[in-house]
Chains A and B, each alone.
Chain A
Amino acid sequence: MVNKKKKDILTDNDFIEWQLQRTEDAERYWDEYVERYPEREAEVRQATEDFRTTVRLNDYRLPQEDEYLISHHIWKMAGISRRLYIRRILWMAACIALMITVGSILPLLDRSEKNMENRQTAGADAIIGAQQPVSELQLISGDRVAQFQKDAEIELSDKGEAVVNKGEKVVPLAKEVINTLLVPYGKRAQIQLSDGSKLWLNSGSRLDFPASFTGDTREISVTGEVYLEVAKGKQFIVHAGGFDVVVHGTKFNISSYPGTASQYVVLVEGKVEVEVDRKGKAAEMLMPDEMLQITAGTAEKRSVDVSRYISWTRGILIFDHTPITAVLEEIGRYYNVSFDVPDNAPLKRKTCSGKLALDEDFDAVMRSLSVMSKITYARDGNAVELKVKE
């Protein structure tokens, strides 16, 4: 045993080897050393602590932007396939259930498309989709931008704060400005406003709202698709890009995606007035189970099965002779997949009827869709390809 009395233990070579390697023999050696020189025990302990807090080897950190990109990828993948292994077991059962559903719907399917005259080859005939990266939900209040990775459930508190996912995060809202909630493709959000009104925002939607309603009326703006359950109170007006909805206590759905040919309002309960942005036109009054479809400024009212229009709030899409392009548009928004539909694609004339549960992963949804509408579905990484089944 070496007497290290005069030396600084921390910079002693043996000590350094011990600290770096912590081999059993070195541990033993230093145990013996402390036994022999108990007066130096404190010094050894101090040196050990100093060494371990000071010396770092290859102390590299994954740079934040990469860390973020990878986690984003994982979140996305985990989000859509967390329950995949359970589904593997349930898949067969689901298939059988689906076949029964489809079986009952089959007569509805557009049989005229059944005998596509020629065999399709890959390429221009196919609909190609590409899964896009999903961006964050954003809650913007004045200069403050809060971002959320996951779907969010937001509740505005009395104190003018936005409580996200039951307190996971609390975002103070600016009083005087209009706040904005941006829901990107691939995400959904639910928000309860300060007056207790509840809103469900579908993918690709935007909501502008005040922290609290102060004037004579309650006013919000939306684009995209929103389902509202308005609480009783002052007059409630929804500005929906191209038309306003004046609410008389109610539940209703608005679809007003920019860039789509038509927008619509579907009333579930209560009464709403829809003011289409056109001079000299009286407001349209909607009753429950009625839909007002607005195409290029022309409003058309008809009776509908409302469940079809609000089922997305429960993660279900219902189709009834819906053109496949419209179906893909909805699915694409939900999962943030952009589909490229060639003009002459035979698939364009296909329609689809049935129920699609959206809380499954994207592949499962596409497989169901392919069963429902007799198409083939293939996936390669982020790219997907749809073709008419031979």
Chain B
Amino acid sequence: MKIEVTYGQYHDAMYSYGIGLGFSHDDCVDAIQDVFCRLINSKALEKVDNMRFFLLKCMKNRLLKNYRDSNANKTCYLKDENFENFEIKVSMIDGILAKERQELLKKKVESALNMLTARQREAVYLRYMQEMEYVEIGALMNLTPDSAKLSVHRAIKSIRENPSLKPIAYVTVFALLRSL
């Protein structure tokens, strides 16, 4: 596939992910350009199975690298692992739900997201908006696949043990995310 086409498909995803990670508009624009300019002369794209995962990974790495480079002369700056800020802005597409129901849903979604940690929010964003598998999410967020699997397993197990208890079921849904 031509790189222009790939760019056309994924630039919004990359931009939106970068903004979510807390980077500025300018940083995101620079990073997108850097990522694609580097890919022009490489064969990397041809070998990619999962383009979305690949490009989001590139985007994150590039944002962090640009951030490190721009702070190279400073004695003190945030380390990568401190980039644990992930904000989610909930927006609703009008016209499908009645106004009050839409408002109520928005509030509930927001409060559900507020209960999560930043990393859990990042995972939810990647799962819901980018429709990525948890294995990919784990890889993107530097989690081992094993820990992701284990979490899922644990969650299923507790649901089986307490099939009718709402509070437990409610908690188990979070089990995976909490372990992130």
Contacting B at CB under 8 A, from A62-97, are: 62-63, 66-67, 69-71, 73-75, 77-78, 81-82, 84-85
17 additional A-B pairs beyond A57-B124, A77-B40, beta carbons within 8 Å, are A1-B163, A8-B101, A11-B108, A14-B166, A14-B173, A17-B173, A25-B173, A28-B156, A29-B169, A53-B93, A55-B90, A57-B125, A58-B16, A62-B12, A71-B7, A75-B4, A81-B41
| Given contacts A2-B164, A85-B41, A56 and B12 within 8 Å (CB-CB) | no
The listed residue (A8, A10, A21, A54) touching B93 by CB distance below 8 A is A54
B residues within 8 A CB of A177? none
The SS class assigned to the B binding surface is helix
A residues within 8 A CB of B63? none
A residues within 8 A CB of B169? 2, 14, 29
The contact sample of 10 A-B pairs, CB cut-off 8 A, is: A16-B109, A23-B134, A25-B155, A25-B156, A56-B129, A57-B125, A62-B15, A70-B36, A71-B8, A74-B36
The listed residue (B28, B96, B105, B174) touching A11 by CB distance below 8 A is B105
**A261 to B161 CA separation, bound complex (whole angstroms):** 90
The listed residue (B3, B17, B109, B177) touching A55 by CB distance below 8 A is B109
Asked if A73 and B33 make an inter-chain contact with CB atoms under 8 angstroms apart, the answer reads: yes
B residues within 8 A CB of A56? 90-93, 129
Asked if B159 and A25 make an inter-chain contact with CB atoms under 8 angstroms apart, the answer reads: yes
Q: Mark A90-117, 1 if CB is under 8 A from B, else 0.
A: 0000000000000000000000000000
A residues within 8 A CB of B108? 11, 13, 16
Q: Which residue of A lies closest to B96 (CB)?
A: A54
A residues within 8 A CB of B29? 62, 66, 69-70
B residues within 8 A CB of A23? 134, 152, 155, 173, 176-177
Q: Which residue of A lies closest to B158 (CB)?
A: A25
A residues within 8 A CB of B159? 25, 28-29
| Count, chain B residues at interface, CB 8 A | 63
How many whole Å from A45's CB to the nearest CB in chain B?
15
Q: Mark A1-22, 1 if CB is under 8 A from B, else 0.
A: 1100000101101101111111
A residues within 8 A CB of B14? 62
Whether B88 sits at the interface, judged by CB under 8 Å, is yes
- For A18, A25, A59, A63, the residue with the greatest tally of chain B CB atoms inside 10 Å of its CB is A25
The listed residue (B8, B33, B105) touching A54 by CB distance below 8 A is B105
